Amino acid sequence: MKPKIVVYKALPADVADYLREHAELIDVDAGQPGALAAALRGADGAIGASVKITPAMLDGSRVKALSTISVGYDQFDVPDLTKRGIVLAHTPDVLTESTADTVFSLILASARRVVELADWVKAGHWKGSIGPAQFGVDVQGKTLGIVGLGRIGGAVARRAALGFKMKVLYTNRTPNEAAERHYGARRVELDELLASSDFVCLQVPLTDATRHLIGARQLQKMKRSAILINASRGATVDEQALIAALEAGTIHGAGLDVFEREPIDPASPLLRMPNVVALPHIGSATHETRHAMARCAAENLVAALAGTLDVNVVNRDVLAR
Ligand code: DGY
C-alpha cells in the first residue's frame, strides 16, 4: 500500500505528479484551524512550508517523515521530532544563490535609496536635476559584516568581495576557511563586526541562541552611517529596538525581508520610514528556485519514507537508530 502524505502548501503540478507515483496525497488548506492536525493523524508524512507544526499536532499520529520546502526549520520542535523518531528534511543549497541575490538587492536598494526614489519619481516629484537630497552612499569598497557565514552567507560574501570589492567581516561558530581564502573574509567577535561594518547582514537561523541577537545594545554599537540587512528570520532582531534606533538616528537605515510578525502589521512604523526597504519575505522567491525547492522537498520525503534519505536531514540522530 502506498504511504499517505499530507500536502499543506500548493505544489507545482509536475511535483505533485511525482509524489502521486509514490504516495496517496491528502491536500490540506493549512489556513483552516485544526485541518492540518486532523490530516496528520491519518498520514505517514507531510510536505509544506510556513506553518508551525507543534508536538500536539503529532500526538496520536504515525508520521515518520516531515519535509519542509525551506532551508529554515524554525516551524518545528526538532528535539521533539527526534524523540518521536520522525525524520525532518529541508532544502538547503537549491536556494542559496537566489536568497543571496535578495540580500544583495536589499544592500543596493538601501544604499542607493532605490525604492524611495522610484516612489518619488512615480509621485511626480522629479522636476529638475537631482542633488544631494537624492544622493545615496557607495556599496563598492565598503565593509560588509556577515553574522553567520554558512551557505547563504558565503554566497553573499562572494558577491561582496568579488563583485563589489568589499571587505568582509564575519562571525560564525566555526571558521569558514573557504570564505577566508577566496573572499578575504575575516572572522571577528560580534562587537567588532558591529562597530566596523557599513552594512551588517544577518544570516543566522532562528534558534533560542539567535532570538533578538540584535537588540538595543548591539544597534548602539553600530556606526551611525550603517545599514542593517535582515533576510534571515525577523525574530533575530528585536524589532521594537530597531524601530527606536531608526527613529533616534542610531543607525542610518535597514533593508528587511523578514519581520517578527509576517505579514507585517500595515501600521508598523517601519513602513513609514523612507530609510527602510521592506520586502514580503521574498528570500528564495523566484519561479526557478521555488520549483527546485518543491522538487527537492518531494524527493526528500519519498526517500525518507523509503528509509533511504541520507542528505538534507535536519535531525540526523534519527537515522542512526
Ligand atoms: C527558507 O527557505 O527558509 C526561506 O526563508 C523561505 O521561507
Give the number of the atom of ligand 1 that is nearest the alpha carbon of residue 72. Answer: 3
Select which of 224, 262, 288, 316 is catalytic.
262
The DSSP result for 13-78, as a single string, is HHHHHHHHHHSEEEE--TTSTTHHHHHHTT-SEEEE-SS-B-HHHHTT----EEEESSS--TTB-H
For a substitution probing ligand 1, which of 73, 74, 284 has the most ligand atoms within 8 Å of its CB? 284
Of 87, 73, 86, 80, nearest to 55 (Cα)?
Answer: 80
Report d(CA 194, CA 145) in Å as an integer.
Answer: 7
Per-residue tens of pLDDT for the chain, all 321 residues: 899 999 999 999 999 999 999 999 999 998 887 999 999 999 999 999 999 999 999 999 999 999 999 999 999 999 999 999 999 999 999 999 999 999 999 999 999 999 999 999 999 999 999 999 999 999 999 999 999 999 999 999 999 999 999 999 999 999 999 999 999 999 999 999 999 999 999 999 999 999 999 999 999 999 999 999 999 999 999 999 999 999 999 999 999 999 999 999 999 999 999 999 999 999 999 999 999 999 999 999 999 999 999 999 999 999 877
What are 232's three cell numbers? Answer: 534571515
CATH number of 4-94+287-320: 3.40.50.720
Ligand 1 atom 4: residue of nearest CA: 70
pTM above 0.85, yes or no: yes
Give the number of the atom of ligand 1 that is nearest the alpha carbon of residue 91. Answer: 2
CATH number of 96-278: 3.40.50.720
Q: Is-contact 47 304, C-beta < 8 A?
A: no
Report d(CA 11, CA 317) in Å as an integer.
Answer: 29
- Indicate if ligand 1 lies below 6 Å from the C-beta of 153: no
pLDDT in the model for residue 33 = 79
The yes-or-no answer on residue 233 being catalytic is: yes
List Cβ<8 Å contacts ≥24 apart for 185-194: 185/146, 185/149, 185/157, 185/161, 187/149, 190/147, 190/218, 191/221, 193/145, 193/147, 193/169, 194/145, 194/218, 194/221, 194/222
Report d(CA 156, CA 102) in Å as an integer.
Answer: 9
Question: What is the rounded end-to-end Cα distance, in angstroms, of the chain?
Answer: 24
Report d(CA 143, CA 318) in Å as an integer.
Answer: 41
Examine residue 3 and say whether the peptide bond preceding it is cis (omega within 30 degrees of 0). Answer: no
CA–centroid distance, 92 to ligand 1, in Å, is: 9
For a substitution probing ligand 1, which of 47, 70, 88 has the most ligand atoms within 8 Å of its CB? 70
For a substitution probing ligand 1, which of 67, 75, 95, 296 has the most ligand atoms within 8 Å of its CB? 95
Q: Is-contact 264 239, C-beta < 8 A?
A: no
CA–centroid distance, 134 to ligand 1, in Å, is: 33
CA–centroid distance, 10 to ligand 1, in Å, is: 16
pLDDT in the model for residue 86 = 98
pLDDT in the model for residue 31 = 87
pLDDT in the model for residue 69 = 98
pLDDT in the model for residue 99 = 98
- Indicate if ligand 1 lies below 6 Å from the C-beta of 145: no
User: What's CA 84's distance to the chain center, in Å?
Assistant: 27
Characterize 193-224 residue by residue with b for buried, 16 or more Cβ atoms within 10 angstroms of its Cβ, and e for exposed. Answer: bbebbbbbbbbbebeeebeebbbeebbebbbe
CA–centroid distance, 285 to ligand 1, in Å, is: 9
pLDDT in the model for residue 320 = 79
In 10 A of CB 106, how many CB atoms?
A: 27
The yes-or-no answer on residue 97 being catalytic is: no
Report d(CA 284, CA 101) in Å as an integer.
Answer: 9
Any idea what the Cα angle at residue 314 is, between residues 311 and 316, rounded to 5°?
70
Of 148, 142, 260, 140, nearest to 202 (Cα)?
Answer: 148
Domain segments of the chain as ranges? 4-94+287-320, 96-278
User: Do the domains at 4-94+287-320 and 96-278 have one common CATH topology?
Assistant: yes
CA–centroid distance, 258 to ligand 1, in Å, is: 10
Of 298, 7, 301, 255, nearest to 116 (Cα)?
Answer: 255
